[in-house]
């Protein structure tokens, strides 16, 4: 089975478009169509339904996605094993990080990594922590440096690097701004602005509230903590933010018996070999934290 055809197949399955897939793997659209036609001939089945401009997987195509991804991941793993034997640090490193971690924690490590290993092509992608973990699990990224998941995520290894406690904050004009210490019942009487549903950070906040989470009113949601800070500062509600974002625009409100603690760190796949470049990045992140 042609490996380039499998790469083309997965690119189309993930982008939902022949043209976008061609751009993603740096080939022409006729070339990617030819690869898919050859793969369909080999399998004796159609892989995609083309309805107008929409491209959808057929049942056969859906059945091929996971095996194709496993084959390509095994090939990349074999390449990394062979390359690691040389001891050289080079090639491509696919790294996913959240906007907050990338802006507030990673810059010293990225600067040093670039200085020490200029031959590495760093494919740095900013995305939600949950999306980055999924990309590592599927083999699209070698590692992620993100907010760590609140529960085990199957084959992923999560290694803490930074402790990142969250504080309940309000704007200077908020009714709670003059309160030094309140209980959680008083807090949930006021609307909140929180990270999006399903995010690791939101789940930590809700877990800290316990049964009071059912009384919570969430006015707005966004996955960008810098935007949450702005919403809090202008008085649209309270939120929980890390110390790195707290300044004179915000007031910390201490809540009795509630502490919200999250960890930031490295996520890798337990069944895959890390390249020398990935190992070097992890080492530098720990040395510069």
CA angle 136, 126, 25 (to 5 degrees): 65
pLDDT value, residue 117? 94
Q: Which residues contact 67 (CB under 8 A, 6 or more apart)?
A: none
Q: What residue ranges of the chain are covered by domains with CATH 3.40.190.10?
A: 84-161+264-288, 165-262
Among candidate residues 78, 235, 84, 116, the one with its CA nearest the CA of residue 169: 235
Q: Do the beta carbons of residue 161 and residue 286 sit within 8 Å?
A: yes
CA angle 78, 276, 287 (to 5 degrees): 150
Q: Which residues contact 158 (CB under 8 A, 6 or more apart)?
A: 148, 149, 265, 266, 267
Among candidate residues 208, 132, 126, the one with its CA nearest the CA of residue 165: 208
pLDDT value, residue 153? 81
pLDDT value, residue 54? 81
Q: Which CATH superfamily is domain 84-161+264-288 in?
A: Periplasmic binding protein-like II (3.40.190.10)
Q: How far apart are CA 109 and CA 106, in angstroms?
A: 5
β-strand partners of 181: 254
pLDDT value, residue 225? 93
Q: How far apart are CA 57 and CA 80, in angstroms?
A: 31
Q: What residue ranges of the chain are covered by domains with CATH 1.10.10.10?
A: 3-78
pLDDT value, residue 181? 84
DSSP of 50-90: EETTEEEE-HHHHHHHHHHHHHHHHHHHHHHHHHHTT----
pLDDT value, residue 237? 94
Question: Please, what sign has the CA dihedral across residues 241, 246, 249, 252?
Answer: positive
Please list the ranges in the chain whose pLDDT falls under 70.
none
pLDDT value, residue 150? 81
Q: How far apart are CA 147 and CA 260, in angstroms?
A: 13
Among candidate residues 73, 94, 77, the one with its CA nearest the CA of residue 6: 73
Q: Which CATH number fits domain 165-262: 3.30.1390.10, 2.130.10.10, 3.40.190.10, 3.40.50.720?
A: 3.40.190.10
pLDDT value, residue 253? 93
pLDDT value, residue 1? 74
Q: Which residues contact 171 (CB under 8 A, 6 or more apart)?
A: 177, 232, 233, 234, 235, 249, 250, 251
DSSP of 91-160: EEEEEEE-HHHHHHTSHHHHHHHHHH-TTEEEEEEE--HHHHHHHHHHTS-SEEEEEPPSS--TTEEEEE
Among candidate residues 11, 13, 69, the one with its CA nearest the CA of residue 271: 69
Q: Which residues contact 42 (CB under 8 A, 6 or more apart)?
A: 1, 2
CATH of domain 3-78: 1.10.10.10
Q: Do the beta carbons of residue 198 and residue 130 sit within 8 Å?
A: yes
């Amino acid at each position: 089975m042609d490996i380039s055809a499998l790469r083309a197949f997965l690119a189309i399955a993930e982008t939902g478009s022949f043209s976008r897939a061609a751009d993603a793997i740096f080939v022409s659209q006729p070339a990617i169509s030819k690869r898919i036609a050859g793969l369909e001939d080999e399998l004796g089945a159609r892989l995609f339904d083309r309805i107008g401009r929409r491209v959808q997987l057929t049942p056969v195509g859906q059945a091929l996605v996971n095996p194709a991804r496993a084959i390509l991941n095994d090939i990349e793993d074999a390449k990394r094993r062979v390359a690691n034997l040389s001891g050289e640090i080079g090639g491509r490193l696919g790294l996913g990080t959240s906007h907050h971690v990338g802006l507030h924690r990673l810059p010293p490590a990225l600067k040093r990594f670039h200085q020490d290993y200029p031959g590495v092509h760093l494919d740095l992608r900013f995305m939600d922590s949950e999306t980055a973990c999924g990309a590592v699990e599927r083999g699209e990224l070698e590692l992620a440096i993100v907010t760590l998941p609140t529960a085990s995520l199957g084959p992923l290894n999560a290694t803490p690097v930074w402790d990142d406690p969250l504080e309940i904050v309000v704007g200077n004009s908020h009714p709670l701004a003059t309160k030094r210490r309140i209980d959680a019942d008083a807090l949930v009487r006021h609307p909140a602005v929180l990270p999006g549903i399903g995010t690791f950070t939101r789940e930590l906040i809700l877990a800290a509230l316990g049964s009071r989470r059912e009384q919570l009113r969430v006015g707005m949601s966004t996955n960008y903590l810098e935007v949450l800070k702005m919403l809090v500062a202008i008085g649209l509600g309270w939120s929980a933010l890390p110390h790195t974002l707290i300044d004179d625009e915000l007031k910390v409100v201490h809540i009795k018996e509630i502490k919200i603690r999250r960890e930031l760190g490295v996520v890798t796949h337990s069944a895959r070999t890390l390249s020398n470049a990935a190992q070097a990045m992890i080492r530098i992140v720990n040395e510069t934290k």
